[in-house]
């Protein structure tokens, strides 16, 4: 029997803001409002990118807010804010933070009309600052949302299977980094208190290292470094964040935060070889694409989401955003196309309880990087454990708990699995300060334990 030890007297850090989501709660061109569900998950942060689908007519992108680049950027009449205003209002009503990506949604079409280097970098920067002015300082019949987080561009280094930079069509890294140089300084000059960073890299690697070196050489503001990753192992999620931390520290950015602001499961639960992106985009094997996206929604995706949250909690990552919260997106594992919650939704609800009710995480040993994976937290009168048996074997697991405190403790044990949706399985009562609780987990099951002190 495997054993995991939890000492609730050994705290580490507050629960991390790692269960943010890309987009929402409004989606499908205002037809669907998932605000109730976002509250159930206690979503702390919403990143706006690919909002309402690629090539959206209305939302967020600079080209949608300011549709005629040749127009006068100082004239409020040349901006279209209405739909994005409504979206941000819905996020603000949740009490969630907005991460506003200044740039363009991904563009796979032939022309790549908008996802390309701006004709005039300085004018683009002035437009970006006016967008900030609208949402923070009331410019152009605007608002005072005090949006702090501004991310510059998205996946500009990425090259697809056809050799095309989908999000920086026809451009190169020198131009991309130059846009960051100009935009980060323009934003900092406008309001030195804003959080500015980027560049939402497709992955860790050479382009990111070149960018960090460029920021150091140019003495640029870099409050956060953001990157993406579609993975299928705890190890990959954890090690990528470790790599980024080492990179930043090497160049002296010891205070720069790490944002993993686009992530999800990608993989197969059977042996496979080859480039998975090519495999799921091959029109001769559409069943492989279906398999990946179905796994994102079922118990595989639910258990992976739990394992990823555990890895991120243990890693140097500071903030993360799951991709995607929009029900029309293939990459939305939280809901199906009809807004019905799927398995990762319940995983997010469990961590959301931990995030909202607890003040400190507990040191848990996941150093073997083998299932089952676990994390735990403590708050006033409450202790919680989240366990993921992602790619693990069926069996009993001993939860050796120390530092439970005096008095009678009520332990509620919930399960997320093939047929369970964070449903209460049983209730136990403890009187001792040290207790070993035995739980059983099938492969791809998530167990959530909530312990409260009773009168």
Q: What are 382-429's pLDDT values in tens digits?
A: 999 999 999 999 999 999 999 999 999 999 999 999 999 999 999 999
Mean pLDDT estimate for the chain = 95
* Beta carbons of 66 and 73 less than 8 angstroms apart: yes
* Single residue among 357, 383, 405 that ends a domain in this structure: 357
What is the DSSP annotation of 349-412? HHHHHHHHH-SEEE----TT--SSEEEEEEETTEEEEEEE-TTPPSEEEEEEEE---SS-EEEE
Report how many domains make up the chain: 2
- Residue 352 shares a structural domain with residue 374: no
- Residue 227 shares a structural domain with residue 278: yes
1 contacts: CB under 8 Å, gap ≥ 6: 395, 396, 397, 398, 438
- Residue 351 shares a structural domain with residue 368: no
- Residue 253 shares a structural domain with residue 348: yes
pLDDT, tens digit, 9 for 90 and up, residues 16-37: 999 999 998 999 888 899 999 9
- Residue 167 shares a structural domain with residue 65: yes
In a domain, 258, yes or no: yes
In a domain, 77, yes or no: yes
Range of the domain at 84: 16-357
* pLDDT over 80 (residue 455): no
**How many percent of the chain have pLDDT more than 90?**
89
In a domain, 232, yes or no: yes
- Residue 39 shares a structural domain with residue 133: yes
**What's the CA gap between 65 and 71, in Å, rounded?**
12
- Residue 381 shares a structural domain with residue 240: no
Residue 281: the pLDDT is 87
Burial of 303 (0-12, 13-18, 19+ CB in 10 A): buried
In a domain, 407, yes or no: yes
- Residue 195 shares a structural domain with residue 299: yes
Pairing of strands 32-33, 26-27: antiparallel
Query: Within a 10 A sphere around the Cβ of 372, how many other Cβ atoms?
Result: 26
Burial of 82 (0-12, 13-18, 19+ CB in 10 A): exposed
Peptide linkage before 25 cis (omega within 30 of 0): yes
Query: Within a 10 A sphere around the Cβ of 441, how many other Cβ atoms?
Result: 23
pLDDT, tens digit, 9 for 90 and up, residues 48-71: 999 986 556 689 999 999 999 999
- Residue 293 shares a structural domain with residue 425: no
pLDDT, tens digit, 9 for 90 and up, residues 182-215: 999 999 999 999 999 999 999 999 999 999 999 9
Q: Determine the longest span between alpha carbons in the chain, in angstroms.
A: 72
Task: Specify the DSSP element, H or E, that contains 269.
Answer: none
**How many percent of the chain have pLDDT more than 70?**
97
Q: pLDDT-derived band of residue 216, with 50, 70 and 90 as boundaries? A: very high
Q: pLDDT-derived band of residue 355, with 50, 70 and 90 as boundaries? A: very high
- Residue 71 shares a structural domain with residue 205: yes
* pLDDT over 80 (residue 165): no
In a domain, 387, yes or no: yes
Residue 161: the pLDDT is 67
pLDDT, tens digit, 9 for 90 and up, residues 98-152: 999 999 998 777 667 788 999 999 999 999 999 999 999 999 999 999 999 999 9
In a domain, 10, yes or no: no
pTM for the model: 0.97
Judged by DSSP in three states, 289 sits in: helix
**What's the CA gap between 252 and 220, in Å, rounded?**
12
Residue 345: the pLDDT is 98
């Amino acid at each position: 029997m495997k054993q995991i030890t939890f000492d609730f007297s050994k705290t580490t850090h507050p629960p991390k803001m790692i269960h943010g989501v890309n987009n929402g709660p409004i989606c499908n061109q205002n037809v669907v409002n998932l605000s109730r569900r976002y509250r159930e998950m206690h979503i702390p942060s919403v990143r706006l990118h690919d909002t309402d689908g690629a090539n959206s007519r209305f939302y967020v992108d600079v080209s949608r807010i300011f549709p005629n680049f040749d127009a006068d950027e100082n004239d409020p009449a040349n901006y279209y804010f209405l739909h994005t205003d409504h979206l941000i209002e819905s996020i603000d009503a949740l009490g969630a933070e907005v991460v506003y990506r200044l740039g363009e949604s991904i563009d796979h079409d032939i022309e790549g009309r908008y996802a390309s280097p701006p004709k005039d970098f300085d004018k683009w920067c002035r437009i970006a600052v006016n967008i900030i002015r609208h949402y923070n300082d009331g410019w152009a019949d605007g608002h005072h949302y005090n949006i702090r987080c501004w991310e510059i561009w998205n996946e500009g280094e990425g090259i697809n299977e056809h050799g095309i930079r989908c999000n920086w069509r026809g451009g190169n890294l020198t131009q991309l980094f130059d846009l960051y140089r100009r935009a980060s300084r323009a934003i900092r000059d406008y309001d030195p208190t804003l959080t500015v960073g980027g560049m939402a890299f497709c992955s860790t690697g050479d382009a990111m290292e070149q960018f960090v070196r460029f920021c150091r050489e140019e003495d640029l503001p870099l409050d956060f470094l953001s990157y993406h990753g579609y993975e299928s192992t705890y190890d990959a999620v954890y090690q990528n964040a470790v790599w980024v931390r080492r990179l930043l520290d090497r160049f002296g950015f010891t205070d720069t935060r790490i944002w993993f602001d686009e992530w999800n499961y990608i993989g197969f639960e059977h042996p496979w070889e080859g480039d998975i992106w090519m495999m799921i985009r091959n029109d001769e094997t559409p069943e492989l694409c279906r398999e990946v996206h179905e796994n994102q929604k079922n118990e595989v995706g639910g258990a992976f989401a739990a394992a990823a949250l555990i890895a991120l909690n243990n890693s140097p990552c500071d903030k993360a955003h799951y991709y995607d919260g929009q029900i029309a997106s293939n990459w939305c594992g939280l809901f199906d196309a009809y807004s019905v919650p799927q398995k990762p939704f319940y995983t997010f609800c469990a961590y959301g309880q931990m995030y909202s009710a607890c003040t400190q995480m507990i040191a848990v040993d996941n150093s073997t990087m083998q299932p089952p994976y676990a994390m735990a937290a403590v708050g006033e009168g409450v202790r919680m454990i989240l366990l993921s048996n992602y790619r693990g074997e069926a069996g009993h697991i001993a939860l050796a708990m120390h530092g439970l405190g005096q008095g009678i403790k009520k332990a509620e044990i919930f399960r997320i699995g093939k047929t369970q949706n964070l449903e209460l399985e049983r209730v136990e009562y403890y009187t001792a300060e040290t207790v070993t609780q035995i739980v059983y987990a099938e492969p791809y099951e998530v167990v959530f334990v909530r312990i409260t002190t009773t009168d």
